[in-house]
Amino acid sequence: MRFQVAIEQDEAGYYVAEVPALPGCLSQGKTQKEAIANIKEAIEGWLEVMEAKQSYDPARLVEVFV
């Protein structure tokens, strides 16, 4: 999967990463490289939590490509 990530440096010098497509999915790092590694972990965690919340019958699901 691909996601766009917004990265900004805060007043303390940390790099803050946010995924606009995933509400509340944020992370940070001392360097831009660290922030990117951390946001990848945050995305994986976000997706796992959202998948665990689903209570759909798998037989009723279909994939749609956009």
Its pTM stands at 0.79
pLDDT tens track for 6-54:
999 999 999 999 999 999 999 999 999 999 999 999 999 999 998 888 7
Q: Which CATH architecture has domain 6-60?
A: 2-Layer Sandwich (3.30)
Q: Give the start-to-end residue ranges of the domains of the chain.
A: 6-60
- SS3 string, 1-64, reads CCCCCEEEECCCCCEEEECCCCCCCEEEECCHHHHHHHHHHHHHHHHHHHHHHCCCCHHHCCCC
